[in-house]
A = this chain, B = another copy of it.
Amino acid sequence: MKKYTNISDIKNFSKAIQEALHLKKNPLEFSELGKNKTLGLLFFNSSLRTRLSTQKAALNLGMNPIVMNVSGDAWGIEFEDGTVMNTSTAEHIKEAAAVVSQYCDIIAVRAFPTLTDKAKDESEQVLSSFVKYASVPIVNMESATAHPLQGFTDAITITEHKKVNKPKVVLSWAPHVKALPHAVANSFIHAMQSMDVDFVITHPEGYDLNPKIIGNTPVIYNQGEALKDADFVYTKNWSAYNDYGKVLNTNTNWTITKEKLGAAKFMHCLPVRRNVVVEDAVLDSNSSIVIEQANNRTFAAQWVLKKILEDLK
């Protein structure tokens, strides 16, 4: 594998899931593979799970992780071409990406969207600049429009927990006080479209996601109808896509309750706002698999790093 910026970089999705589950049982089997190799983790935004699980994955493979909070530790980075850099940014991405490539064998990047400039976000300015100007493989630790380490994790978790061959999986929008990105929802949709599941999306009208990503996946505006007989309910807030980045409603009717969940397993990428997105009773019950889901982040990242390391040789 030459990079991991999107779910589609995984060529054989079901095989990848099985290999990741194998790594989960044998996390140190390839602990020599990454010896004397360095993973640079560049954070333009906050991170807990991604920060720790990606480092853990690198350590399991014998790699040396080096973490950098770009904003606080280094220089303001310019992404526009041809600009006269006489204002606040001190270093152009052309140099930054090429330079980091001198010290790191793989570069992982987190860079959230603006949620105000749709065209800029959809161009994936930060991530695609790293892909373009770095001379080493790039791993997406959540970009403007995709969070493929999370999406792959979610597929692994559903595979692990499913009781029927083709479970029913529902992606249900949830209320939130802040405008959140579409990345997690997008990559979850990609992952589900790559698996043999009965998949539906439900959200209030106005919250329709990018139609190119939705494709043929059914969207139902009635949450109750969508949740019926679900095996997995994946809950996530996102801001409007058409009325870009706007919070159209914070309707608590969409909060997931134990009653709505029924016999389904509850999933969320975390962090989750309790009693806004989902009530305590769900998270504190055995129906919630969010912690196991977070645990699988390590093995999703480890699979990705392993495939990239194998191709470096």
The residues in A between 25 and 43 inclusive whose CB is less than 8 angstroms from any CB of B are 28, 31, 36, 38, 40, 43
- Supposing A40-B52, A82-B275, A273-B90 touch, asked if A291 and B103 sit within 8 A by C-beta, the answer is no
Check B276–A86 contact: CB distance below 8 A: yes
Check B38–A75 contact: CB distance below 8 A: no
> Which one of B47, B51, B75, B87 contacts A48 once the chains associate, using CB atoms below 8 Å?
B75
Q: In the complex, what residues of B have CB within 8 A of residue A52's CB?
A: 40, 66, 68, 100, 103-104
Number of identical monomers bound together in the oligomeric complex: 3
Check A90–B280 contact: CB distance below 8 A: no
| Chain B CB within 8 A of A102 CB | yes
| Residue from the set A43, A74, A100, A283 with the largest chain B CB neighbour count within 10 Å | A74
Check A75–B280 contact: CB distance below 8 A: no
| Chain B CB within 8 A of A46 CB | yes
The residues in A between 57 and 113 inclusive whose CB is less than 8 angstroms from any CB of B are 59-60, 64, 66, 68-69, 72-75, 78, 82-87, 90-92, 94-96, 98-100, 102-104
Q: In the complex, what residues of B have CB within 8 A of residue A84's CB?
A: 274-276
Smallest beta-carbon distance A85→chain B, Å? 4
A274 to B72, CA, bound (A): 22
Majority secondary structure, A binding face: mixed
> Which one of B59, B177, B276, B291 contacts A38 once the chains associate, using CB atoms below 8 Å?
B59
> Which one of B38, B69, B280 contacts A82 once the chains associate, using CB atoms below 8 Å?
B280
Q: In the complex, what residues of B have CB within 8 A of residue A270's CB?
A: 91, 95, 99
Q: In the complex, what residues of B have CB within 8 A of residue A290's CB?
A: 95
A55 to B100, CA, bound (A): 12
- Supposing A85-B273, A85-B274 touch, asked if A291 and B46 sit within 8 A by C-beta, the answer is no
Check A99–B275 contact: CB distance below 8 A: no
| Chain B CB within 8 A of A118 CB | no
Smallest beta-carbon distance A90→chain B, Å? 5
| Chain B CB within 8 A of A271 CB | yes
Residue of B with least CB distance to A54: B103
Q: In the complex, what residues of B have CB within 8 A of residue A250's CB?
A: 86
Check B47–A95 contact: CB distance below 8 A: no
- Supposing A73-B51, A177-B86 touch, asked if A99 and B56 sit within 8 A by C-beta, the answer is no
A64 to B59, CA, bound (A): 8
A94 to B271, CA, bound (A): 11
Residue of B with least CB distance to A85: B273
A102 to B290, CA, bound (A): 11
The residues in A between 247 and 305 inclusive whose CB is less than 8 angstroms from any CB of B are 250, 270-276, 280, 283-284, 290-291, 294-295, 297-298
Q: In the complex, what residues of B have CB within 8 A of residue A48's CB?
A: 68, 73-75, 91, 96, 99-100
Cβ-closest 6 pairs across A and B:
A91-B271, A85-B273, A102-B295, A48-B74, A52-B103, A84-B275
13 A–B contact pairs at CB < 8 A? A48-B73, A48-B91, A51-B68, A52-B68, A52-B100, A52-B104, A55-B66, A56-B66, A69-B73, A86-B273, A95-B291, A98-B294, A99-B291
